[in-house]
Structure 1
Amino acid sequence: MALYSQPPMSYTQEPTTAPVEHRFNPYSDNGGSILAIAGKDFSVIAGDTRQSEGYSIQTRYARKVWQLNDKAVLATNGFAADGTNFVKRVKQRLEWYEHAHHKPMGLKSIARMIQTMLYGKRFFPYYVYNILGGIEEDGTGAVYSFDPVGSYEREACRGAGAAQSLIQPFLDNQIYFKNQQPEAGSEKFVPGNLPLSTVLSLVVDSFTSATERHIEVGDGLEIYVVMQKGRSADDLLDEKKLAPGLKVEELGALGEGEGERTFLVRQSLKRD
């Protein structure tokens, strides 16, 4: 029995170093915010131009909003490299579709395609929150919001990004009329019936207030306005109806023929 009274040395020696856990995390949050609001015959999609990491500003002009075709505009927020790569792949698929079918893809179909692309990468997802805005086949404005793995829904408005906690409650109150009561004898509040000039003012107010609170938001504001085909743009081009400081530029058609009209509205934001 004495032969087995002591356990072998390999069982009694203590490890000389603690175990090391190895991780691979390629993601980063590059700040900024995006939002979109759907109107009766238009859609407004906006984003700021600051790109940061923590409290370090990497660049003061980084696009977050992209025109896909004459009907659709996509806003991305989260990991900037993933966002740029994802937009590139979406545009590539839209180009293939147009070559194969000789017509641009509709907004509803683009939303479904984006959902499929995001869900297909769910095990190593794009760290990007997407908001798609544009004009549907029936001429109405529409907004689709997505999470990084493809869950999506159509909404009247949606905000995302660093200042989402500030912007979304404001939009809920002003677009969905949450916690508001119509005056006696007036019509019931209906989301999506606000005029374009009012929507633009709400967008500017949203980003102006977010810039005051978040270092991740600021520098510049880019607003894309997609209008129903044949709709007058007088309310957008009339400087008296716009907030001061807005610069309006009409973008050319991306496809063949005359489609919906798309405008780019720019404004400077606070620089810190």
Structure 2
Amino acid sequence: MALYAQPPTSYSDPTTAPIEHRFNPYSDNGGSILAIAGKDFSVIAGDTRQSEGYNIQTRYARKVWQLTDKVVLATNGFSADGNNFVKRVKQRLEWYEHAHHKPMGLKSIARMIQTLLYGKRFFPYYVYNILGGIEEDGSGAVYSFDPVGSYEREACRAAGAAQSLIQPFLDNQVYFKNQQPEPGAAPFVAGNLPLSTILSLVVDSFTSATERHIEVGDGMEIYVVMNKGRTTDDLIGPGILSEGMHVEELGALGEGGGERTFLVTSPLKRD
């Protein structure tokens, strides 16, 4: 018995040519974030520009959020996913505090974020997260995440449009890569830099990135989370902040207060 097949479709005919259907719900809205951990403090920063390609959508879009008195979260990538993810994290933290009558610790928040991201791995949040704050032992810590939940604790991390510009600079200045101490001097140790030095590194990172990258600019927000009882002389002392920078202390989120959190704002290039 003979088998007869349909004749091949003529792809030269536009009415019968295959049509590709593609749905892409994601967008990259630019901007950059970074965090650096100190001995008893953490610094988390981000710029305020939101863009899509060469189109600037707004010159003020938050990328850094205070979660508790000890913890700050920075998000970067698709802004709609980032805003929705921050809402989910804050909701989980509120449930935890009602159930246990205390705020969740930094290490536990990092684990919770990992679980939330991994739970959406088949349709992930297009968001790169950096978590910074104070651990239970009073030390500064930074946790970085990829969109599906893989994370690690680090001394510093940058993410976003200017990551390729900022991260090598931080590797050299914070991790002391490709640096050699003077003969007889103490070896370099990551995480022991003073706050004033780290603030200078953050400002230099965003200033240089703004000069080279169109998706970074307009303004900068720096959150400084300090261990309770720590002096603030190296933050608000004379000569620490450059001209145009403004610093304010944020109120405690929980009852009785906790670690002290400061917000430092500064303008960036607007081109």
TM range (shorter): over 0.9
Partner of 1:269: 268
Judge conservation of contact 2:143–2:154 (CA < 8 Å) in 1.
Answer: yes
- After TM superposition, give the deviation of residue 239 of structure 1 in Å: 3.2
Per-residue displacement from partner, 1:80-127 (whole Å, max 9, x unpaired)? 000000000000000000000000000000000000000000000000
SS in 2 for 1:240: coil
Partner of 1:14: 10
SS in 1 for 2:168: helix
Q: Which amino acid aligns with 1:146?
A: F
Within the alignment, does 1:24 sit opposite 2:20 as a pair?
A: no
- After TM superposition, give the deviation of residue 232 of structure 1 in Å: 1.0
- After TM superposition, give the deviation of residue 185 of structure 1 in Å: 1.3
Partner Cα distance (1:81, 1:55) in 2: 19
Partner of 1:213: 212
- After TM superposition, give the deviation of residue 20 of structure 1 in Å: 1.1
Q: Which amino acid aligns with 2:63?
A: K
- After TM superposition, give the deviation of residue 13 of structure 1 in Å: 6.0
* 1:12/1:84 CA distance change after superposition, 3 Å: closer
Unaligned runs of 5+ in 2: none
SS in 2 for 1:194: coil
Within the alignment, does 1:171 sit opposite 2:174 as a pair?
A: no
Partner Cα distance (1:7, 1:77) in 2: 57
- After TM superposition, give the deviation of residue 174 of structure 1 in Å: 0.2
Q: Calculate the TM-score normalised by the size of structure 2.
A: 0.96
- After TM superposition, give the deviation of residue 21 of structure 1 in Å: 1.8
Q: How many residues align?
A: 268
Partner of 1:242: 241
Q: Which amino acid aligns with 2:10?
A: E
Partner of 1:50: 49
Partner Cα distance (2:37, 2:258) in 1: 18
What are the within-5 Å matches in structure 2 for residues 243-258 of structure 1?
243-258=242-257
- After TM superposition, give the deviation of residue 79 of structure 1 in Å: 0.1
Partner Cα distance (2:54, 2:132) in 1: 30
Quote the sequence identity (%): 84
SS in 2 for 1:37: strand
Q: Which amino acid aligns with 1:20?
A: I
Partner Cα distance (2:128, 2:8) in 1: 53
Unaligned runs of 5+ in 1: none
4+ residue runs over 4 A deviation? none
- After TM superposition, give the deviation of residue 175 of structure 1 in Å: 0.1
Give 1 or 2 for the bigger CA radius of gyration. 1
SS in 2 for 1:263: strand
* 1:258/1:148 CA distance change after superposition, 3 Å: same
